[in-house]
Amino acid sequence: MRVSRLKTWVWMSMFITVCSAHVSQARFLEGSLRHKEPRSRLSSPPCATLGTHFINAFKLGKHSYTFSLSEKNGILYTAQGGHIDTPHLRKLADWTAYLACRIQESIQNNETGFEYRMWEPSRHYVTWTYPETWSTLSKVEREEATRDIAIALGQHLAFTAATWHEILTWHGYRGIGVWPEFQSAFSWEDNYSNLLGCHIAGAALSDPDLEFDEAMTREIEAVIDSLGGQTKRVARQASAAMRGTWFEGDVIFLKIFKRNFDIGLTDGYITPWIVTCLNKFGLATAQPASIPLPSMEPLHRVGFEFNLEIEPREFEKNKILRIVYPNPKTAQKRINPDIHFKPIMEAILRAATERYGPGVQQAYCAGNPAPVSYVTLDLSRKDTSQNSNHAYWETMSAGSYKPMVRIQ
């Protein structure tokens, strides 16, 4: 069980990062990047198989919104966050930044929403209503509220889109046309990596001094270090240790029979799966660090309301629409994630249970014992310089937290 006192405190304070006075001076994407959609990055399953690229958590390179050879991407391992897919993390961070810019400009132009598409043909429609008091706010107050709203809503839209991608691939969608992505749908590191990227982007977008890429580089290094980043060797061995427990096979015959369907519906947090059987590396007592879903507090604070709908346009759309609209006479073309993700995920869990058995989403067993306790990642702002507050990341526990010793 998580420590309720800590969790309540973190829930109240987690968005100081984007709600402080310094956010009014935050630097979003600048110049032509504000209207440039994020690039894609190649990813791979977190399984110790041919073709999976494991990386050193201490050598991640420089983040780049545009194409650059400076980034070091692949699957890394952290003591408290488990495996992390850096292409997913970086991609969600960039989409958070892009959508935040779209939202900011739309609000500045007094618009009431826009439509967009992500990686798939599906169309996303976000609309909002302004509070009656909006026109009474001063220019500075509106600017600060707009920035807060843009970051928070950008995080929410990006993570929702990532979840939608997993739903589509579970139902057979092939992003590159030929290679099936079903085997990687809801793999154990996906949702945590995606959400982590959204939160890191929130910290980077709130930085008053650094450009987005520089801030991202610093924030990624800080959070991975705080989670107990490990070497490339440990990352591979942590995955190899789960062969026969979470997955089996290799490459085209790969079978991931343990899936992480946690998208925060139950408690508003996503908890990572960690490998506890790595006794020789001193990781047996690691505590998984949960992270909260994006908070909509900046919107609620000023009475700003929004609505999001997704219109599937993929070949697999009818499989999904039939789940939420079982009666063809009342069926609609769009879904509302706030309403429909729950029945969709319940249907996916039933199908996964039939396919892989009742333990499909159980990460721990005799060979990989359950952690003794859990902690929550603190997202509050801390002082790291004399001149300004910079967001950095710190893993908190009910008692005192001691960082894991790096395994060389």
Per-residue pLDDT of the chain (408 residues; tens, 9 = 90+): 444 333 433 333 343 344 443 444 567 888 888 889 999 998 889 999 988 999 999 999 999 999 989 999 999 999 999 999 999 999 999 999 999 999 999 999 999 999 999 989 999 999 999 999 999 999 999 999 999 999 999 999 999 999 999 999 999 998 766 666 788 899 999 999 999 999 999 999 999 889 999 999 999 999 999 999 999 999 999 999 999 999 999 877 899 999 999 999 999 999 999 999 987 777 777 899 999 999 999 999 999 999 999 999 999 999 999 999 999 999 999 999 999 999 999 999 999 999 999 999 999 999 999 998 888 876 654 443 333 333 333 333 222 223 333 333
Q: What is the pTM of this model?
A: 0.88
CA dist 122 and 168 (Å) reads 10
